[in-house]
Structure 1
Amino acid sequence: MVNFNRFASFVALIDAGSFTRAAQILGVTKAMVSADLKRLEAELGVSLVTRTTRRLALTEVGERFHRDCVRLIGEAELAIQQARDGQETLKGTLRVTSTAEYGLNYVLVAIAEFSAIHPELRIEYSTLQHQADLIAQRFDVAVRLGTLRDSTLRATPLQKFSTVPVATRAYLVGKPEITTPDDLARLEWIEHARFTSALTWTELRTGKTMQTPHFKGALEVDTANAALTLVLAGCGAAILPDWLLENDLRDELLIRLVPNYSLPYQGAYAVFPNTAHVPAKVRKFIDFMRDFLRRTM
């Protein structure tokens, strides 16, 4: 009889793309993942995977079997979760990921409150600057900012926010007057490595739009917090999310540049796997996160 437990090991292996990564995701040894595959192929009497020095590839039978395994595991998890949803108390584990800055400022604060309400639910939080593969890395929900690209996932909007060009007053001393977005090119910029596209500006008085290229500078960083640190040190200007700047703008440590122009709103989204049934722990956390942001923003 085929061992159903090996289905999950097989799916993790294919989704992860390597024995090492699958073992990390499953929390077992590489040898155990390899043994599961060999036993599964022996139980089925077919080859599911072809191995090369660089990658794993599914056989034709393996492709069909992988699709069936994903469906069967999903149905099993659905049955289990539907049974658990009848309980008022959330249990099990909720795995959440977000970026460093937004996570520190909002997601972790929300998790602290949510955890106090649901003490029997274990919550695992991970900070990732690059978008996680929710399926392969087994995250229940990711809080992501900006434009969403992965159409295989579901997303719920949580919040809208602005991005704002800023610099210190000391840095601007002696610089030419900055009145329009075109003038911003005269400044030194702290670049964010992941944002390089052209910028669209709207004049608040007239509603007219204009574009500028991505502003270049001698400094490049990969987090908004790093950019903010360099701006506050007087190294130049940067475009940063308003939720990160609230205190520094209020205390006049930073000056908002070209205040008569705005950039398009950005979004914060709760992203989660596109399954037939969204687990109660995910639904309740997303609802709580949305309400939390309403209360605190």
Structure 2
Amino acid sequence: MAHDLNRLALFAAVAETGSFTAAAERIGKPKSQVSQQVGRLEAELGVRLFTRTTRKVSLTEAGSALFDECAPLLNEMQAALARLDAERREPSGLLRLTVSAEYAATVLAPLIVSFVERYPKMEIDVVTASEQVDLVDARIDLAIRMGWLKDSSLRAVSLGDFGQWVVAAPAYLQRHGVPQRPAELVSHRWVALSLLRLPLQWTFTNPDGGTETVRVKAALRINSTAGLQGLVAAGAGMSTLPDFMVAEQVRTGLLVRVLAGFALPRAGIYAVYPDGRHVPVKVRAFIDHVRDALVASG
């Protein structure tokens, strides 16, 4: 026998709310209609789904088994309809985004501008932070994170990657010389970024394809990438910085890239957001916008 799926939805609403009255209010139908349709479902199935008293409604054993089977399917159907509805709507509302101040200033700022120009109903609230923010507690919709992701309950989408360059100020190199191999970094002043898990250990890939791991000595430590860049530019020593932060300074001669023939591992750029069945259209639209722009820029 073919059953009316609407009756299953009404049955599930009663099971979830524990009341015909509450179920009727939730779905906007008269209580009598809800009770009638559930009664017809019971008649079709030949079993009693609820035990009814003057004070409460509770599932029978058969009702509990049916609810366990049909509730996930009904939720999936609702999620599919919600996705289709979201896809036809223009992104709008507030998007709360967290990202490092350095990446926001050097890469993301123009992409945010072009995004709100493309979607004028959108508002962006950017929360800059060097350390990872708890997205759920802080009510953040999306994070742009750099490096290597840890396992978590969050969902992540790769946006691209970036290079790591060893750089120093010209004045520093004039005083202390230019290293020709990674092993020579041991004798140089190193400015360490204390945010990293291993700020003093670096593994280079040599031109011949082999690898070389070096442990440097920290002359200075700092917990800010922007502060690290400032110290290196001022001649405090050498360090490793993301290519997107220092490429322009290297081009203009304010910084010098050393050991260019010895590659450090490239690090990832990720869009991270809380796990859930349905990704909000505003989050998906922003991820697509940034990823497309990064791909186009090479």
Please state how far the C-alpha of 1:79 moved relative to its aligned partner: 8.8
> In structure 2, do the counterparts of structure 1 residues 92 and 177 end up closer, same or farther at CA, with 3 Å as the change threshold?
closer
Mapped to 1, the partners of 2:120 and 2:177 lie a distance apart of 57
Mapped to 2, the partners of 1:84 and 1:94 lie a distance apart of 19
> In structure 2, do the counterparts of structure 1 residues 165 and 86 end up closer, same or farther at CA, with 3 Å as the change threshold?
closer
Contact 1:165–1:239 at 8 Å: present in 2 too? yes
SS in 2 for 1:262: coil
Q: How does 1:25-36 map to 2 (within 5 A)?
A: none
Moved more, 174-183 or 132-141: 174-183
Residue in 1 aligned with 2:282? Answer: 281
Residue in 2 aligned with 1:126? Answer: 127
Q: How does 1:1-297 map to 2 (within 5 A)?
A: 82=83, 85=86, 87-197=88-198, 198-204=201-207, 206-213=208-215, 215-297=216-298
Contact 1:202–1:261 at 8 Å: present in 2 too? yes
Please state how far the C-alpha of 1:175 moved relative to its aligned partner: 2.1
Contact 1:81–1:279 at 8 Å: present in 2 too? no
Contact 2:101–2:129 at 8 Å: present in 1 too? yes
Contact 1:96–1:124 at 8 Å: present in 2 too? yes
SS in 1 for 2:137: coil
Mapped to 1, the partners of 2:135 and 2:85 lie a distance apart of 22
Mapped to 1, the partners of 2:230 and 2:85 lie a distance apart of 46
Please state how far the C-alpha of 1:78 moved relative to its aligned partner: 5.7
Mapped to 2, the partners of 1:227 and 1:98 lie a distance apart of 18
Q: Report Cα offsets for 1:95-139 as digits up to 9, x if no partner.
A: 111011001122232111111111112221110111011112121
Task: Give the counterpart letter for 1:126 in structure 2.
Answer: V
Mapped to 1, the partners of 2:111 and 2:195 lie a distance apart of 26
> In structure 2, do the counterparts of structure 1 residues 84 and 95 end up closer, same or farther at CA, with 3 Å as the change threshold?
farther
Instruction: Report the number of matched residues.
Output: 224
- Structure 2: stretches of 5+ with no match in the other structure: 1-16, 19-71
Please state how far the C-alpha of 1:190 moved relative to its aligned partner: 1.2
SS in 2 for 1:173: helix
SS in 1 for 2:176: coil
- Structure 1: stretches of 5+ with no match in the other structure: 3-70
> In structure 2, do the counterparts of structure 1 residues 160 and 137 end up closer, same or farther at CA, with 3 Å as the change threshold?
same
Mapped to 1, the partners of 2:115 and 2:169 lie a distance apart of 37
Contact 2:95–2:141 at 8 Å: present in 1 too? yes
Mapped to 2, the partners of 1:80 and 1:121 lie a distance apart of 23
Mapped to 2, the partners of 1:79 and 1:127 lie a distance apart of 34
> In structure 2, do the counterparts of structure 1 residues 101 and 177 end up closer, same or farther at CA, with 3 Å as the change threshold?
closer
Please state how far the C-alpha of 1:92 moved relative to its aligned partner: 2.2
- Relative to the length of structure 1, the TM-score reads 0.69
Identity percentage of aligned residues: 34
Cα RMSD for the two superposed structures: 2.4
> In structure 2, do the counterparts of structure 1 residues 85 and 236 end up closer, same or farther at CA, with 3 Å as the change threshold?
same
- Relative to the length of structure 2, the TM-score reads 0.69
Contact 2:87–2:281 at 8 Å: present in 1 too? no
Q: Report Cα offsets for 1:52-83 as digits up to 9, x if no partner.
A: xxxxxxxxxxxxxxxxxxx9xx99x9699547
Mapped to 2, the partners of 1:174 and 1:78 lie a distance apart of 64
Mapped to 1, the partners of 2:109 and 2:189 lie a distance apart of 33
Q: Report Cα offsets for 1:125-176 as digits up to 9, x if no partner.
A: 1101110111121211100000101421111111111101111121112425
**Larger radius of gyration between Structure 1 and Structure 2:** 2
